Structure 1
Amino acid sequence: MSAEPGSSPLGRLGTRLTAWDPRRHPWWLRALVAVALTALATWLRVVLAPAESGGRFVTLTLAAAICALYGGFRIGMLSTLLGMLAVNFLLVQPYFSFAIGDPKEAFWLNFWHLLTQLVVVGAIALMQRRTRELRASVEQAQRSHQQMLDTFENRATGMAHTHMDGRWIRINRAYRELLGYTHEEIIARHWRDFTHPDDVAGDFSQMQRLARGEIGHYTIEKRYLHKDGHTIWVLLSITLIRDASQTPDYLIAVVQDITERKAIEEALRTNERLLSQAQELALMASWRYDALKREFTTLGNANVILGVPRAVFTDLDMVAMTHPDDRQRMQQAWAAAFRRGDAYDIEYQIGINGEWHWVSVRAEFERDAHGRVTHGLGTVVDITEHKRAEQQIQQLNASLEERIRERTQALKAAYDELESYSYAVAHDLRSPLRIINGFAQALEEDNPSLAPESHRHLERIRDASKKMGELIDGLLKLSQMARGELQRSPVDLSAIATRQLRELAATSPERAVDWSVQPGLVAMADGPLIEALLQNLLHNAWKYSAQTPRARIRFTAQERDGQREFVVADNGAGFDMARAAKLFQPFQRLHMPHEFAGLGIGLATARRIVLRHGGELRAESAPGEGARFYFTLQPQA
């Protein structure tokens, strides 16, 4: 086995000598070494052989060469000059006197020695300079090579060098990470093993064209199969490198991951397809206007959606398509938007396939630095069906308003007739009742000797006629609650309830009723109607708690579903909620007449008042547990 260059001591010494750079040491140190070596060589020359033996310059020539190797050209020449001085003045006695007797001989000896030393020292210096340049070139080449390798290895884009048969030369880190394999795993496979089966044929076809010299490089989009199984879309660029004889040498492959771009492109295609479908469903079309050419260009299949014969048409064509009744209005709106920058949003009719269609057109304009319109972008929506429906609705509304007016007049006439009828009936009924009551009283007064049974019959007649009169008064009062216009104003419900309860307590001083009213209950309502409402509810509470030992009545307010609700509560007789459907009907009672007196008109009147105020009246109760009446008063809008 042969030793590598530089492995022997001699070789290492030679390597060190050739790699020596005199500039590593300061000049004064090199000069000092030159002086010392020259002095040593002079001493050795004197010790080893007498100066008269000849070859006076040999030892000092060697010293100058060593000094040149160590210190460079100038140091070598310094040693040469010092040696010449030593030869001429220090080798023979008497020292410091000229040693060579013949001046001519001295001249030529020193001249040729100096010339020889110039050549030797210059050669040594030139050799060192060339060595340094060569070493710098090698180092630069090594750095460039390393930079190339670093650039190759650390480039963000995947790169690989391969032989023509597919064997790998080198693969960078990005390429390995792209595929998910290690360097050893990739080296052991062919590039076809990483390529999607559907893309192998296309890639191989381009490779054959490279080999035949038809192309020098190619770029394709293909799919790689990652180690974990998922597919990667890449942009692959292949370049063929030939040697000096133009024979294919190797291939450079550059791959860029475009999976995300492909996903975005697919999403854009999907969005475009969905947008196109949506435009077709909505009968919407988009267009672009070129102000320089004064042309409209429909985008996508907009002309098909609109039913116009072509995709490009001029502004004059657009005016010609517009209905004569709408042309001036359309042109004025266009000019205002085009010149002044007003919003262009207009509806008008255009002729399509011999029929007039209503369209809604919107547009925005792009302007240059001087404010001049360069392009416009807009949409057209066919609203013909909408317009037809709108016209039908207008016709229906007009017809409905007419029917409502007729029905209102009929209802008003019926209401007026019913009101007149109510007054007439009340008036006509009152007169017979007064006659019946009067004759019953006269009969009793004129016949004091009537039997007790007869007196009882006459008393029943008078009671029945009196109750009939009260029923007629209640009916009239109920009808009055539905007449007239509400006069809303702030009403202090707490003050009204307090006053009425005090009056009730004054009429029944024998009763000890615990009643209370929450202060500050105010509402926007009709004062007289609220007076009647509280009178009916509080009178009911007072009446139906009469048989309760410790009667209690409360008037409060609470929040329910974001609305204020007033409450009249008592702990009286209560009622069965199963019969609550009759509670607010006129002349319907939930208790027997002998239990509690009354006509059954109060709660019906209260409900009519609450409804007129846009509110709601409801009740909660149970037999023997009292009753709670809740009502709301809708505030005035």
Structure 2
Amino acid sequence: MKFINIKKLLLFFIPLTIITYLVIHNYYTIITKNQLEIIKNGAANDLNSKGILINDMYKNLAMDLDIINWEYQKDFAKDIKPNQDKLKDFFLHLANLQTTYDQVRFIDTLGHEIIRVDFDSINAAKVTEFDKLQNKSNRYYFKNAKKLQKDDIYFSNIDLNMEHGKIEIPYNPVLRVAKKVYTPTNNWSGVLIINYFMDNLFDRLARQSKLKYANFELRTAEGFSLISEDAHKNFKHITSNSDSLALYHTHPELWKKIEQNPTGDYAFKNNIYLYKKVTINSKSIKNSHYKDQKTFVLIHKIDLKKVYQSQSIYAIYEWASFIIITILIFLILLGIQYFNHKVHLQNKTLQDQNSQLETLKNKLQDTLRIKLEELKLTENKFYSIFNNAGIGITLLDLKGKPVFSNKKLNDILGYSEKELTALTFADFTHPDDLEKDMTQFQKLIQRKIDSYNIEKRYIRKDKTVIWGDLNVSLLLNKENEIINVIGAVSDITERKDAQRETRNLKKVIKSLDYIAKVLKIDSVENISEINESINLVKYIEKQSEDILKANKAREELLTNLEHKNSELNNYAHIVSHDLKAPLRSIYTLLNWVEEEPENSLTDESKMYCQLILENLEKMESLITGILSYSSIDDDKMAEYDINTYDLVNEIVKLILVPKSIQIKIDANLPVIKGNKHRILQVFQNLIQNAIKSITNETGQIEVGVKETLEFWEFYVKDNGKGIEEKYFKKIFELFQSIDDSETKSGIGLSIVKKVIHFYKGKVWVESEITKGTTFYFTLPKAETKTLNK
């Protein structure tokens, strides 16, 4: 335990212990004060839930009655006297489905029960025998139902079920809902009545959200008890016909507040009463046929004595928490001292290795610089060869539609690139040569042949006919699947014309030889004018041979170009992989040095370590940028719909945005067709560039879009320091940064430019010094669609 420094340990331990006690004491003080509010809020939320439950019960009963009435009118009201057997079967089926029903009845206009189905929880629903049917004409609910208008619904008060004029024991709370029914001639024929078991609802109210310190009460609009903790108080207004236990007698002040406000609370002695009035009407149950309303009072009585008794446990929690955290603080401080001692020992070893790491760093930087220069040179050669090729080159899809063409092919056919991509090769092939070309094309895409070469006639945009020498082959991926079809075209119209003229001249010479024999001349070559024509024919034949040799050289150049392009992409991936491997080794070495227990680092050594890490991060950023830059043209990357609004929000969450900068994102950013990796690099590089350019105390960045007929014009705008106009082109070049900062790779905007050009769009910048910068770029709308936000 030699590493323990008692003075330093106490210097930190005592203040942290005091702070810990103050924080814990304050925390439990707040909990104690807030507990009652939490209980009250929980009780209030529970009252809201119970109110919804009661309202839903009334709503469902009204819906059930409407369904019964509709079924009755559809199937039973067609006859003056409905078929009682069918009606019994219908009621019986309904009662078996709705087990909360007590009874379903049809009563005639005089109050006599015609059909009654009773629910028996043991034997299920059953039809009441005829001799047990009763006269209900004097019952209040029948009298009230008789007063209903057509289609209106009646809800009775919640009362106790009576049998033969006496209250049924044990108490059976029941609610009745009624509706008048009519004959086809619109004559009143009787009343449909459902008796609903209220015990089901009361049980659900009691089970729902049982609160630890509160008791639930349900009261009528007059203050009579339906549910309470004292069961003897329930329904006293019915059983004893007395209002002595009504709320306006037992708690007049509470009742006064309930009458004044639909919700609230009231403190009385050692209790707090939270109340809520629930009104059932046509609006709450969403049924216009209910013209009346019912009101209930829901109350939670909170016992303050129990609440205060429960808070005594917090004192135990407070001291237990303080002791545990104090022990943890002591152990953490011991651990920190041990760790510092271990780091001190590791620094010694790190000092001996600094020079080796410095040498390795310089070697890696030199190697990376050389490889980057070689990569850039190879890429420049590739683009130069392709863009200056003397033959027309196009990529076709499997339907023969050009998806890309170079300038030479556009000049040969007289179409612009956009016009050409809207056609298929059949549209500009001479009809007499179409079958031959189509046959070979089908064999190619069916993999029956690897390539083909034909001479065919093309119809230019201006309707003139030209001859072309066409070489067609397949572009395959690593899985040997077809990506595109490559076509290379040379204009051989002049050669064809020369060959035709040569054939004609040969025919003329043969004719002249015959004429010479007739005229008895030794040879036509002895005639000077004819001799000049013969020399011309030989010259044309020589030129034709030269053209054939040039075509062969052109084919070899195209093959070599494709090979070089493949090597370039593979080389970029190999470079990124091979250079990342030593970087990971250096990271591992640094971690090992820092963890070595026998070394200690001086301040100078720590500075060197930090410098090494910063350079490693820059090198890894360069390598990652190169890989991203080289993979932009990879045709194997999948294209699919991209929601640019979601993509920009995702980027903002991932990157580090200072709190002083606010980023505004246009909600109308569209859905486009493309590769998410490519589009993400565009927005991420532009947004990060905007963040780095802001030096003000508060920054504003705006990402938006403008719509035109042919393309989407996106922009990223900031209020940063701005860019001088002379740098507008330089910033888009590879490894160019106007700040000359060692933390910037100079690749980000080059990637943006390359991605936009890949999608045949444009990118540019507008800026004013000290006022800010706006980067614009366009993407064609041919493959995009607008997203409705």
Q: TM-score range by the shorter chain?
A: 0.3 to 0.5
Structure possessing the higher relative contact order (Cα contacts under 8 Å, 6 or more residues apart): 2
TM value normalised by structure 2? 0.28
Higher CA-based Rg: 1
